[in-house]
Homo-oligomer: A and B are copies of this chain.
Amino acid sequence: METNVDNEGLINKDFSEDLAPFMLTKCPVTLTNLIIGGKWKPVIIHNVSRGINRFGELQRAMPGVSKKMLTQELRDLEHNGILNRKIYAEIPPRVEYSLTDWGRATLPILQSMAHFGFAYADKLGLKPA
């Protein structure tokens, strides 16, 4: 609320609270978890990387997510420099999300997660998509 130092327009969030777990441990894995962890963030990134980049599309592509959660997670990713948000001044309004360079830098993580998930689903006798 009070102190908002916008240095470069890229990351303008106050991290002193958000990044507390990382500050405590200095563990890079913990930091990554804070940025792209959680229930929906990896799936959002995965979908945006596949070209599913509009709010409604994402919501349909992610069964179970609520508008509120989707909005919130999209904002987090945007504020942390993972996603771009482009607003087209049209009617009806159109918004498109895309990966930033840092967003693309997370894709190897997503890929190894997908690789493991496929194998693990198979182990469980389940069929992934």
Contacts and interface: CB of A to CB of B under 8 A. Distances in A.
Given A119-B105, A124-B15, A29 B113 contact: yes
B43 A129 contact: no
B33 A64 contact: no
Interface in A101-125: 102, 105-106, 108-110, 112-121, 123-124
Interface of A is mostly: helix
Ranked 8 nearest A-B pairs via Cβ: A28-B117, A26-B129, A32-B117, A32-B113, A31-B117, A28-B128, A109-B112, A108-B112
A62 B33 CA distance: 15
Counting every copy of the chain, the complex holds: 2
B120 A24 contact: no
Nearest to A107: B112
A68 interface: no
A42 to B, nearest CB: 5
